[in-house]
Amino acid sequence: MPTTDGAVVGHAEELINEHKAATGDPAKGAGQVARYLRGEHDLPYMPRGARSEYVSLAQKSITNWLPLISETYVKGLFVDGYRAKRAADNAKPWEYWQANRLDARQTIAHRGALDYGAAYVRVLKGKPAPSIRPLPALSTWARYEDDGDEWPVDGLYVKGLSVDGDRLYETYDKTNVYELAQPKDGGALRVIRTNAHGLGVTPLARFRDRLDGDNRGIIAPLIVLQDRINEAVFSLLIALQFASFRQRWATGLAIPTVDDPENPLFGQPVEPFQAAVDRLWVTDSPDAKFGSFDQTDTRGHLETYGSGVRTLAAIAQLSPHVLLGDLVNLSADALAAAEASTQRKIGEYETVFGESWEQTLRLAALAAGDRTAAQDMTAQVRWRDTEARSMAAAVDALGKMVQMLAVPAEAAWERIPGVTQDDIERWREMAKSSDGLTKLAASLARRAEPAAVSSPRADAGAADGTDG
């Protein structure tokens, strides 16, 4: 670890240079991924010196599917609790989760890991609760002695600009947090302050999309497919632009020529008509015949485009209807079957990210001085069930599980689709009251049954005893 300001600055400059090399090039690596996610794609191929009209069509052909890929997975990844083994309620570190508003901020870590392959959550001591902050993936860099180590050797966070325009950085090691600044005129990096964090490890928990070391994220392998889709759209736009107006032909006409001897084009034929969508060809020649060529068939272009999108969905392990939107009036069971591969992939991410969140919460417990929770390796995060399924079918299956398999009813609550930990705790309080079971049954019935909308005539008939 650096012991002097000069050593701290030299160490920080080394980390900054490595970070720039990994993320600063827009033509490769994380820099290219960030550029494509913003919609700044490489334009489809055009001949050198192509007219501005072609360039305009190439720019319009960019159809950015890539953000939807990671967004689909992020929508299915929500941590909903943290429990010790055999516990019915959340463990103490869950209070730190809520204090840091991680219900919303957890998506920063998930999206960063999926887009770029790695993201980090910083944990530091704080009052009244430890600080747990997911950091932007492109602004963070960490080094590991071994790729499988739980904690990094050191790390860097590019904070941004101060009100004076200085660029701010934070570096971390197992003992201290170093805050540095670089003047906006490009002057020397300097140490602002050094704070001991007292955690004994570099306070960055890593989130990765895969654990075998090749964690480039899910976007980088799809860039070539995105370019292929853009090429198909470009070809389609060219066909629509230049072939949507059917070309006409005429025969049996006397073609006029330039009759001005002083004109350099003297004697050259002159086009008898100006073809346009709002012009009509007329002649007094009885031998004239008019016709038009067949219009360009764009079905092949559209099929190529659809095939590219389906290939993109297959490689990303998404159901094609997520991108194409071509499934309508599906039952819950059919929709669940269509999303089976996506749900299996989400299950894999829950396992990988779950270990990282458990690591984060154990470190938060250590920062709060709770060594018991910090050493609890059995506690696990709970993930919200986001799988598409029929509420009525799920409740029916859970009811049979309680009746036929003697599973406690309270244990089945958390398996009801869409139920959160707050719902479960509220139901427990309702069950403790005198008429709690009646209220609980009514609450569950409202979740299981779709709302029925009755007509005024039917209501009137029911009121007077007639069937209307």
Tell me the per-residue pLDDT of 291-327, one tens digit each, with 9 for 90 and over.
Answer: 777 777 788 888 999 899 989 988 998 877 777 766 6
Average pLDDT over residues 401-420: 80
Q: Is the pLDDT of residue 383 over 60?
A: yes
Dump pLDDT digits (tens) for 107-118. Answer: 999 999 999 999
The answer to whether 427 touches 443, Cβ cutoff 8 Å, is yes
HSE-CB at 410 with a 13 A cutoff on CA atoms is: 14
Q: How confident is residue 336, by pLDDT bands cut at 50, 70 and 90? A: low
Res 352 pLDDT > 50: yes
Q: Output 252 or 29, whichever has higher pLDDT.
A: 29
Say if residue 23's pLDDT is above 50: yes
* Of 421 and 78, more confident: 78
pLDDT of residue 442: 66
Give 51's contacts (C-beta < 8 A, 6+ positions apart): none
- Checking if the pLDDT of 161 tops 80, the result is yes
Most confident of 239-248, 328-337, 437-446: 239-248
Instruction: Centre a 10 Å sphere on the Cβ of residue 66 and count the other Cβ atoms it contains.
Output: 23
Closest CA to 79 of 108, 55, 102, 47: 102
- The three-point CA angle 383-388-392 to 5° equals 105
Q: How confident is the model at residue 329 (pLDDT cuts 50, 70, 90)?
A: low
Q: Which residue has the tokens 């600044």?
A: 181
Name the pLDDT band for 71 (thresholds 50, 70, 90): very high
Rounded to whole angstroms, the Cα distance separating 468 from 466 reads: 6
The separation between CA 461 and the C-alpha centre of its own chain, rounded to angstroms, equals: 51
Lowest average pLDDT, out of 133-142, 382-391, 441-450, goes to 441-450
- Which tokens in the block code for residue 142? 């960490």
Q: Looking at residue 6, what is its pLDDT? A: 86
pLDDT greater at residue 92 or residue 466: 92
Instruction: For tokens 């953000």, name the residue.
Output: 67
Tell me what pLDDT residue 461 has.
Answer: 46
For the chain, state the CA radius of gyration: 32
Given pLDDT bands bounded at 50, 70 and 90, which one contains residue 459?
Answer: very low
pLDDT of residue 450: 53
Higher-confidence residue of 54 and 151: namely: 151
Q: Kindly indicate the confidence band of residue 5, based on its pLDDT and cuts at 50, 70 and 90.
A: confident
Residue 222: which residues within 8 A CB-CB, separation 6 or more?
A: 66, 69, 312, 315, 316
